[in-house]
Amino acid sequence: MAITVVLIAETTSKFITALQKRYTTYVVRSGKQGIEAANKYHIDVIVLDAISLQTSGERICKQLRHG
C-alpha cells in the first residue's frame, strides 16, 4: 500500500527530495493549494512547513480538518 504525502512549503527543502524517493508526493507552495490537493487526492500524511509560510498554521489545519 502506497503512502501519499502532501508537502506544504514555500521553498524546496532537502527533505522533499528524500520523501519523493520513497513516497508519492504532491508539493504545493501555499496553504490554499495544500487544501485543494488534500481534497482532490487521498492523502495519508501532510507536512506543513508553517515557518517558511510565515504562519502558525492554525487556519490551514482547521480548514484541513473541516475540508
Give the pLDDT of the chain (67 residues) as one tens digit per residue.
Answer: 677 877 777 665 777 888 888 888 888 888 888 888 888 988 888 888 887 777 788 888 888 888 6
Residue 48: in which H helix or E strand, if any?
strand 45-48
What is the pTM assigned to this prediction?
A: 0.74
Residue 7: in which H helix or E strand, if any?
strand 4-8
